[in-house]
Amino acid sequence: MGVKFFGQYLLEKGKITSEQLLEAVEHQKGINISIGTVALEKELLRPEQIEKVHREQYRTDKKFGEIAVDMGYLTPLQLDHLLKAQMSRRVFLGEALVQKKFLTLEELEEELRAYREEQEKDETEVLGLLTQVKQANVVEAFVDLVIKMFLRLSREFVKIGGCHTNKDNLLASDWTISQSVGGDTNFIFLLTLPRELLLRTASRMMQKGVDEPTEYALDAVKEFCNIITGNACSKLSAQGLKLKPQPPVAYDNSSPKKYVVAKEHEIVAVPLASTVGELEVVLEF
């Protein structure tokens, strides 16, 4: 299985260089803006209201616009207009590559068609595997929330890249955040991620630049995981499962105190791809 981002796909096929990809991504970032920024420009939201919506995002599995409507800051009609305005200004990676003249429109259409066919096949296979694993409802709830929260809170796009139950194939990366959950079923939620993604997540949570995994930075990433776990447990409670999470713990995997899965435990691991490296969600039972 080879679930990957379109830029990575083009790189592997030799259609663009890494320098061209980076330039296109920077061009894309310079144009695309958040829904909150659009609302601010149109004077529909004030900065303090945007900040309150962002804080609420840390506690709930809802999008920015949904929360703004729930809080009475926007009407559904205003939100619809904002979303249309945002979309009209959004540039996707393929468009950025064409605008920078790294691909022709014909080349883009051809590569997109081939990419989608390949990814649909792989994603269907992965989703099929997820329904067959131990406690699939728990695994699916956590994977879903990890993907959503990376996008909403950390502004990082992540994609499912597989599913396995082999401890020997677990991702070896820089950091692991562990959170035990007890109740009607007992398990440990693990998020293993590279240093750069950990620092980016801490920066987003703390709303300032972070370049070292300090105690405060790790606390921010642990809170990020706590939000994921809290929302996942809430989702599972609707299915009749009563769960109680414990505080998360951060492990530096380059130290002697790195995280090790217990020998007597089983695991379900879901590798994920991000633009800054690989990460992995693991449920340890």
Say whether both 186 and 111 belong to one domain.
no
pTM: 0.72
Number of domains the chain is built from: 3
The pLDDT value recorded for residue 86 is 87
Say whether both 220 and 173 belong to one domain.
yes
Phi, psi of 67 (to 5 degrees): -65, -40
Residue pLDDT, tens place only, 27-41: 988 888 889 999 998
Instruction: Assign 56 a pLDDT band (cuts: 50, 70, 90).
Output: confident
Of 32 and 230, the one with more pLDDT: 230
Range of the domain at 37: 33-89
Query: What value does the mean pLDDT take over residues 104-116?
Result: 92
Query: What value does the mean pLDDT take over residues 106-117?
Result: 91
Say whether both 71 and 108 belong to one domain.
no
Interatomic CA distance for residues 268 and 136, integer angstroms: 9
Q: Between β-strands 267-274 and 277-284, what pairing exists: parallel, antiparallel or unpaired? A: antiparallel
Say whether both 15 and 115 belong to one domain.
yes
Instruction: Please give the structure tokens belonging to residue 56.
Output: 């609420």
In a domain, residue 1? The reply is no
CATH code where residue 230 lies: 3.40.1550.10
Instruction: Assign 62 a pLDDT band (cuts: 50, 70, 90).
Output: confident
Say whether both 50 and 62 belong to one domain.
yes
CA dihedral 249, 180, 151, 94 (to 10 degrees): 90
Say whether both 234 and 138 belong to one domain.
yes
Mean pLDDT of the chain: 91
**Is 201 in contact with 156 (CB distance < 8 Å)?**
yes
Say whether both 159 and 274 belong to one domain.
yes
Please give the radius of gyration of the chain, using alpha carbons only, rounded to the nearest integer.
Answer: 20
Token pair 């695994």 is at which residue? 139
The pLDDT value recorded for residue 3 is 60
Is 80 exceeded by the pLDDT of residue 278?
A: yes
**Is 179 in contact with 189 (CB distance < 8 Å)?**
yes
Query: What value does the mean pLDDT take over residues 186-209?
Result: 95
Instruction: Please give the structure tokens belonging to residue 254.
Output: 């380059």
In a domain, residue 56? The reply is yes
Buried b (16+ CB within 10 A) or exposed e, 3-21: bbbbbebbbeeebbeeebb
Is 70 exceeded by the pLDDT of residue 241?
A: yes
Is 90 exceeded by the pLDDT of residue 179?
A: yes
Of 122 and 191, the one with more pLDDT: 191
The pLDDT value recorded for residue 1 is 52
Say whether both 138 and 209 belong to one domain.
yes
Last residue of a domain, one of 79, 102, 128: 128
Helix (H, G, I), strand (E, B) or coil at 199: helix
Tell me which residue of 220, 145, 135 sits closest to 175, measured CA to CA: 220
Instruction: Please give the structure tokens belonging to residue 89.
Output: 């200004």
Say whether both 22 and 61 belong to one domain.
no
